[in-house]
Structure 1
Amino acid sequence: MTGAPKISVFHDGRDRVGESPLWDAGSASLWWVDIGGMALRRKHVASGRLTSFGLDIMPGALALDEDGSIIIAAGAGWYRFHAGTGALSLIVEVTAPHPDMRMNDGVVDPAGRFWAGTMHMPPEREPMGTFYAFDGDKAVAMVDGLRTQNGCAISPDGKTFYLSDSHPAVRTIWAFDFDVDTGELANRRVFHKPSRGRPDGACVDADGCYWFAAVDGGCIIQLDPDGNEVASIDLPMSRPTKPAFGGDDLSTIFVTSMSAGLDATQLAYEPLAGSVLAVEAGVRGFAQPRFRRTPARQPAAAGS
């Protein structure tokens, strides 16, 4: 990162739990969700036109399908969103160990699998979350024993997979060796334990640096491929949730945030809590893969 970053407000709102920003180059728009508000949003960059869709289930992570439609990891499964009607149709569902569980963060790998994991609502119970790889046909449990699954991202060369747990009792980012062809994760190790905030959603830039939102830390943090902090950008809210690269040249970092968890005094002090920011930091991302059905490449079930 070079020079002082420029921060602007992309969407001035009060999302309860804004999450999963997703750049759609085809429409030059940003998609994201409000988990607590049970809504899906899309904003066109040039016109500033905002469209919101109310949902009947809590959304977690978003991905673009090969055909340009939106796939949502929500509730206890993956759904296809039908923009014309605003309806969701279930693709596949997993069996969660407790009824009060939902999908949280996710990422699509270079083979087209949509990875996402479950967490308990609220996240105070014992670690019962599971991280799944979904190939369009079935979902296979890959990592278990999670509390608040988060931080999914994959290196530009597809060889390193990142995953975090943002629960206050864990606050850890892990790295795995990743085999794109088989979908296997190996050599789990601690990548970074933040000194500020908790590691929420994340993305990776074109140089292989990992960026994560430090929720309750009021910033986004850049880590080099060895897990060392190399930069941080303070934000005008304490609870950022996830960064994602977008814009015509993928040089804008869109950052969602939440207003949930703040009392009236804190909300008055943080008028942008729940908004989406646009950060120009002099770095670029890379085009993210799209979801596609790849049942022949589904990994074998794995443990923690």
Structure 2
Amino acid sequence: MNFEQMRDRIATGQGFIAALDQSGGSTPKALRGYGVEENAWNGDEEMFALIHEMRQRIIESPCFGNGKVIGAILFEKTMDGQSGGKSVPARLAERGIVPFLKVDKGLEDERDGAQLMKPNPELETLCNRARELGVFGTKMRSVIKSANANGIKAAVRQQFAEGARILSCGLVPILEPEYDIIATDRAEGEKIMLAAIEEGLDALPEDQQVMLKLSIPKEAGLYAKLADHPRVLRVVALSGGYSTDEACAELAKNPGMIASFSRGLLQDLRATQSDEEFDSTLSSAIDQISAASAT
């Protein structure tokens, strides 16, 4: 797929985006979920090698290329790795899956009820390298924890500012101001966030589009109009700590959103499963998430 074919795949494809971008501090948790305990490795290199083996197993599974996974978000080390004898982005594209790259450097301490992203001075260098490897877009995450208008607006403004840097490198950014699903004031805060997002979208040049990755809203259908905004390529949902069943049930209430799940996709996969068991488990999750993503 070339860049325009990837754009069309994301804009119109029926299915969802797999989040395979656990990194740094989240990698041990992901490996534990896969049944690999911390005594199985010594040092970061061995740890990242183990998570790459898991991701290779997913990417090469027959069901992963069945057309229901339209995109995959990668960690930088995964982007630089190999699968099926090719670079991971090239292998994904060969299987009809559009590659994205996680580009944020983690979160700042909470302020005004939000955690903004840490400074990222090398963002353009990373984006240019990703584009050369065949990556289509990026993803970056901040977290909102309360309905504090100052914190929400600061998080959204930062997302759009970093998105402008990414667009200048020829990639399509996924903006992810995640709203913590356990926040007691989420319904109120999500409306503040929606208004801030709409303001950011309206300020974009006519020839630019971004994607949005948002928590499944407390009020069903709240983000429906974002999916119709001319500056939005696609709106995707994170599972946010929900189980697969919970996330799919909530997502199905929100036309215009498709899934971009991590835990919701991977929660039942285990290193000890035979290839047949692994493929069957992954296939069931893919079918369930794809059905909930039908728009």
TM-score, with length taken from structure 1: 0.30
Where is the helix percentage greater, Structure 1 or Structure 2? Answer: 2
Where is the strand percentage greater, Structure 1 or Structure 2? Answer: 1
